[in-house]
Chains A and B, each alone.
Chain A
Amino acid sequence: MADQPMLPELMKAHGISRRSFLKYCATLTSAMALPPMLAPKIAHALESARRPSVIWLSFQECTGCTESITRSYAPTIEDLIFNAISLDYHHTLQAASGHAAEAARKQAMEANWGEYLVVVDGSIPTKNEGYSCIAGISNVEMLKETAEGAAAIVAVGTCAAYGGIPHADPNPTGAVAVGDIVTDKPIINVPGCPPIPIVMTSVLAHFLTFGLPELDDLGRPKAFYGETIHDRCYRRPFYDKGKFAESFDDEGAKQGWCLYKLGCKGPTTRSVCATVKWNDGTSFPIQSGHPCLGCTEPDFWDNGGFYKPLSTPAGDYRKFAAAAVAGGAALGVAGGAIGRANKARAARAHETVDAHDLEKKS
């Protein structure tokens, strides 16, 4: 793949002008919250940087992340960024199969030892390594082996970043995240189910130009996971006004009011969905009338139900309440009975006094 043309030739072949390429670099710069004067540097780096070898490992996943990144609105410049890297192994996209595919991975690793980038989508089963294998190699083994010579790992999607849906209760495969297996390499988590394409390409562009981006406590690039969806939601004014959709087809839903009461997880979910949006900036879930599921957060599948408002109890509180009614009433009756018994005892112990007793001198 090293003999492939560089980005300027590819742009020419796709009919993309230098002007639109520079505009794209400016967008990336702004998306990454970098100073505007760095845009030319990004353009220069993307045009001339040595194309790094990328090995893409897919474990317990649905291929949604690959679908999102490669097919959402291709052909675009994002697509070309993928051509700026040398994608040496990706079992959905590569032509080779079987032993030839594994040989390509081994070859890429040997040729670029210590410098290649590993992208992972999908979680890793730990209960039984046989649950998910590629060419007879278990996911754990392949990840450990490939990560050893990597410069860094990008965990794409919530499954790779936090375990995701396979990790959801009761987690039958003992699924874990990349960070639970690999602890000695820099890991960039790009969660989302799936992540937004430009977030993915921006992270790659950042890695190519400036190295690792600044990460938050959950290993996510701060530029893309710094604010909640609620903070930037165009329906926020309705939340503030107290105007909520109560169901998916009521007047509030038709008017585009806030979806908090339909279970929106926007207030607790960090992502740029509300600003960058999807499908070339067309829309995002809340804009199409569905509450945010909170897919960029760990354990989003188990966080109390997609359609329950964040302020409502997540547990089975009714049985406790029923027990409390019975228990409280029983204790109250017992307490009252004890009180009455004490009163009766005091009354019995009471000595009567008449006028003669009072006149008696002691």
Chain B
Amino acid sequence: MNNPYFDLLMWARGPGFDIALTILIGGLLLRVVEIVVLSRKKDLAKPKGSPVLQGLKTIFTRSVPRKGLIKEAPVTYIGGYIFHIGFAIAFLFLGAHIALIDDLIGIQWPEANKALIETAAALAVVALIALAWTRITNPVRRALTTFDDWLVWLLSILPLVTGYIAVNRIFGDGTLMMAIHMLSAEALMVAFPFTKLMHAVTFAMARYYNGSIQGRKGAES
């Protein structure tokens, strides 16, 4: 006699994870190496400023919104911050996740307590719902929204919701919910290199590129 929930959990921890990790790493390298190999034509003009420093600086300065933009699109900016920070806290500071990272790359750091992680996760979910709301209500954003956006939204919210349910045993069998949580994270890993989720890696390249162009021209960026 088997426990089907445990079998699913073992699939998620075994072949499921292997497949997801292979696609994630392979896909990430494919995308990044392709961008690097394509590269840009060398600019032979004498730089008027410091392209490298300006490029590096821009990677960080673009994380701060420009003046007035928070007023213009408050949900997008504030919701965006809350989601990203909340997701990062929930992902990086839960003991079970740190155990996973330790197993993968052999480094670890102190865990946060459940109250902080769950608050962060709950706020991230609320932020995602608010962001979805503006996508529906704002006509411009609605016109700009594609299937890809909704897919990525769903893949981002599922690990947060299923993780919360699994840890707190809100409903369903604990083993089953843990398996579903892992599978939802694996779906995110598979989609990562081939959707706009890739921005989590390419943002640095794009910002550096923009910053260094301006730096070469001696302009602000």
Contacts and interface: CB of A to CB of B under 8 A. Distances in A.
Contact of B13 (A179, A313, A323, A331): A313
A332 B178 contact: no
A317 B21 contact: yes
B205 to A, nearest CB: 13
A332 B29 contact: yes
B182 to A, nearest CB: 8
A289 interface: no
A260 interface: yes
A121 to B, nearest CB: 16
B14 A304 contact: yes
A204 B40 CA distance: 79
B29 A313 contact: no
A287 B211 CA distance: 58
Interface of B: 1-3, 6, 9-10, 13-15, 17-19, 21-39, 93-97, 99-100, 103-104, 110-115, 117, 169, 174-175, 178, 182
A218 B17 contact: no
A242 B27 contact: no
Interface in A163-192: 163, 177, 179-180, 189
A255 interface: no
A163 B115 CA distance: 41
A239 B30 CA distance: 39
Nearest to A167: B1
Contacts of A321: 21-22, 25
A256 B115 CA distance: 21
A311 interface: yes
Contacts of A312: 13, 99-100, 103
A161 B3 CA distance: 12
Given A242-B114, A308-B103, A315-B18, A325 B29 contact: yes
Nearest to A180: B1
A242 B103 contact: no
Given A179-B1, A268-B6, A340-B38, A314 B14 contact: yes
A312 B105 CA distance: 12
Interface stretch (A2-10, A38-46, A98-106, A295-303): A295-303
A332 B174 contact: no
